[in-house]
């Protein structure tokens, strides 16, 4: 169960296909198992067991007592009967041909009549097919006169008596025989076309009966007329014409005074039987034939009108003509029905699963699934977060520039949000391509230009020339390059408060200072290996005399140099020298350095050879003539 339409009148999808094309059974079962513990699927459940067909469904109806739901579908041609008390499939039965439509003759499922696509009528009972009869021409719809126990079958073509009228076959169920058909004007046909007529022959498309009131029968034809017959006088009483396209749907209101009709061009008209002018004119917006019209009432006694074509279901306010809410399934619709005294709508469609939609503002849930009210209440309390994936936000002027403003309020592809609309990305791309056929070439040139500019900016590092601290400026530009955009006037480089940092020599960074080395221990300072770094302090050794060491450690400029003495006596120089002039070890001097690593030791993970290298002989000690004996050092024992 999920929220399909989050508008002012919410619509919940209780059951139905989630994809336009059905998945294979093995893949559907695998996905069902893998998504069992998905947080998005925690509210999913199976309302009715096996409420589906292998290929598609044709028609679905609810019994008067509300305990049974019968549906027909294919392939193979069959019909299912579901028990709402058990929420499961009661039985299924196969037929010889595909079903066009059917009617429930009793208050439950025990008596039903089925109009088949092979010009046959089948009467079914719980035991099986009770009787089958053929009709002369193909039927389009079924209607039932309960007072006279007559089944009315609007048919295609002209009558065989040469009168030039179409026919509505009448089958008397009490006597078990056909009665004289009612003749309906459906236009002329080509001569010599035979009993079934030519391809362009007229037809009586649909029938409606005001069953609970005056019993007037209405028949919609392919010549844009509606003819009314009184079953008591067995004669035509009125003709209503002047519509656009064929009449494909008819429905009486509950009081029998209002008649709604739909045409093959998607037009909807609402008439008062006492006035030939329509009270309401609406356009479905898709340009497709209207399949169903249903008069509805809300719990507050507001009158609504449901209209459905194969793409969308819309519910209108019958008084004002405003769109109340809409539902756009992912698959094409074949039939729509309403569960009486509730807010549930059932549909037969071209998908494997049949749809169940629940509209709380239209009414409560049926008594056989009353738990839906609690689920809806819980979902309303939860915070809904809308995520618009693959949508483009456009304002109303931008919609007009793309010629999409006529879709406002007619489809879910345009979702209102703040001062504009979210448009489906696929629709937006197609509209842009129609408005500007060269949009793809312009987009390609734009992306190539952006790529070239990006590569050009990555190659330019030292574009900012400063008087002082050039290394600091280059380091800032290098950080900008890692972020993907180089701007020499952004950040510290472009801030006027830091101008002196790059212009005044008083703000020059001394990389040889102790503070700089402490903050940047891994920075390699150029020229630091060959110069003496002045540092305060000294280190006295027991191998140097007091006066001479002090005199040697001083330079002419009066600075003190830090001296160190080696405790190793194995070869090499042993004279105390400053850090800057110390001789490096041979092994360290020949070692290749990688990167900016400094220090006397380097850790490596390169495996050493198992063969032990021969120790190198120590160089012979050279006796130094310039070193004076330590016997005269009076401070030696100190």
Is 119 strand, coil or helix?
A: coil
State how far the alpha carbon of 264 is from the alpha carbons of 205, 267, 510, in Å: 11, 7, 87
Higher pLDDT, 539 or 344: 344
Which pairs from 89-95 meet CB under 8 Å and 24+ separation?
A: 89/48, 89/49, 89/50, 89/51, 93/124, 93/128, 95/122, 95/129
| For the chain, counts of helices (H) and of strands (E) | 10, 32
Q: Would the pTM count as exceeding 0.85?
A: no
Higher pLDDT, 519 or 624: 519
d(CA 532, CA 579): 7
- Is residue 204 within 8 A of residue 221, CB to CB? The reply is yes
d(CA 611, CA 64): 98
pLDDT tens, 343-352? Answer: 999 999 998 8
Q: What structural domains does the chain harbor?
A: 2-34+134-382 (2.130.10.10), 45-133 (2.40.10.480), 391-458 (no CATH)
Give Cβ neighbours of residue 18 (< 8 Å, ≥ 6 apart).
330
For the chain, state the CA radius of gyration: 46
Segment 196-217 mean pLDDT: 87
Q: What is the pLDDT of residue 385?
A: 53
Higher pLDDT, 125 or 380: 125
Q: What is the pLDDT of residue 540?
A: 42
Residue 261 pLDDT greater than 50, yes or no: yes
Element (H, E) at 373: helix 371-381
d(CA 610, CA 591): 20
pLDDT tens, 189-204? Answer: 766 666 666 777 889 9
Reported confidence tier of residue 474, pLDDT bands at 50, 70, 90:
confident
Segment 467-496 mean pLDDT: 80
pLDDT tens, 291-333? Answer: 999 999 999 999 999 999 999 999 999 988 999 999 988 899 9
Residue 424 pLDDT greater than 60, yes or no: yes
Residue 527 pLDDT greater than 80, yes or no: no
Sheet with 258-263: strands ordered across: 247-252, 258-263, 267-272, 278-283
Q: 28-42, 159-173, 276-290, 589-603: which has the minimum mean pLDDT?
A: 589-603
Residue 489 pLDDT greater than 80, yes or no: no
pLDDT tens, 566-580? Answer: 444 444 444 454 444
Rounded to the nearest 10 degrees, the angle between the axes of helix 439-459 and helix 425-435 is 110
Reported confidence tier of residue 547, pLDDT bands at 50, 70, 90:
very low
Residue 533 pLDDT greater than 70, yes or no: no
């Amino acid at each position: 169960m999920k929220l399909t339409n989050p508008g002012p009148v919410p619509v919940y999808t209780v059951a139905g296909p989630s994809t336009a094309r059905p998945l294979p059974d093995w893949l559907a079962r695998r996905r069902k198992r893998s998504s069992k513990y998905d947080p998005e699927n925690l509210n999913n459940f199976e309302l009715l067991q096996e409420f589906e067909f292998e290929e598609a469904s044709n028609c679905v109806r609810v019994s008067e007592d509300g305990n049974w739901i019968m549906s027909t579908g294919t392939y193979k041609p069959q019909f299912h009967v579901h028990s709402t008390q058990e929420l499961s499939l009661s039985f299924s039965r196969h037929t010889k041909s595909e079903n066009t439509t059917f009617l429930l003759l009793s208050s439950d499922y025990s008596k039903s009549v089925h109009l088949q696509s092979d010009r046959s009528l089948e009467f079914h009972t719980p035991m099986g097919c009770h009787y089958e009869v053929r009709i002369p021409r193909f039927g389009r719809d079924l209607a039932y006169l309960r007072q006279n126990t007559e089944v009315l079958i609007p048919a295609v073509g002209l009558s065989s008596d040469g009168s030039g009228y179409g026919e509505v076959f009448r089958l008397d169920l009490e006597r078990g025989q056909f009665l004289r058909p009612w003749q309906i004007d459906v236009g002329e046909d080509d001569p010599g076309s035979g009993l079934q007529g030519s391809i362009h022959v007229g037809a009586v498309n649909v029938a409606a009966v005001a069953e609970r009131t005056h019993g007037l029968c209405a028949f919609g034809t392919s010549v844009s007329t509606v003819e009314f017959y009184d079953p008591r006088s067995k004669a035509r009483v009125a003709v209503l014409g002047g519509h656009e396209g064929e009449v494909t749907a008819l429905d009486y209101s509950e009081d029998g005074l209002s008649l709604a009709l739909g045409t093959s061009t998607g037009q909807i008209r609402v008439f008062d039987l006492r006035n030939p002018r329509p009270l309401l004119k609406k356009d479905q917006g898709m340009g497709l034939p209207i399949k169903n019209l249903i008069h509805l009432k809300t719990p507050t006694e507001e009158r609504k009108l449901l209209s459905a074509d194969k793409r969308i279901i819309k519910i209108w306010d019958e008084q004002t003509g405003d769109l109340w809410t809409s539902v756009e399934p992912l698959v094409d619709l074949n039939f729509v029905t309403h569960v009486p005294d509730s807010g549930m709508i059932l549909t037969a469609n071209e998908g494997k699963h049949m749809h169940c939609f629940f509209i709380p503002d239209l009414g409560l849930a049926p008594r056989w699934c009353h738990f839906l009210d609690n689920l809806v209440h819980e979902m309303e309390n939860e915070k809904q977060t809308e995520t618009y994936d693959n949508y483009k936000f456009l304002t109303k002027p931008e919609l007009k520039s793309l010629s999409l403003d006529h879709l406002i309020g007619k489809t879910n592809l345009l979702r209102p949000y703040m001062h504009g609309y979210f448009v489906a990305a696929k629709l937006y791309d197609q509209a842009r391509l129609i408005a500007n056929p060269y949009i793809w070439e312009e987009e390609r040139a734009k992306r190539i230009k952006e790529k070239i500019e990006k590569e050009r900016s990555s190659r330019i590092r030292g574009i900012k020339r400063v008087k002082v601290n050039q290394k600091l400026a280059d380091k800032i530009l290098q950080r900008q390059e890692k972020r993907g955009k180089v701007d020499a006037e952004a950040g510290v480089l472009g801030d006027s408060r830091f101008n002196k940092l790059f212009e005044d020599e008083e703000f020059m960074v001394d990389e040889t200072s102790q503070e700089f080395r402490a903050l940047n221990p891994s920075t390699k300072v150029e020229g630091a290996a060959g110069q003496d770094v002045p540092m305060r302090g000294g280190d006295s050794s027991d191998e140097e005399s007091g006066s001479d060491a002090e005199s040697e450690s001083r330079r002419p400029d009066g600075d003190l140099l830090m001296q160190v003495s080696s405790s190793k006596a194995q070869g090499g120089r042993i004279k105390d020298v400053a850090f800057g002039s110390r001789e490096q070890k041979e092994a360290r001097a020949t070692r290749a350095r990688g990167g900016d690593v400094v220090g006397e030791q380097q850790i490596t993970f390169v495996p050493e050879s198992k063969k032990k290298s021969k120790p190198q002989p120590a160089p012979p000690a050279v006796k130094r003539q310039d070193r004076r004996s330590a016997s005269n050092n009076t401070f030696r024992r100190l």
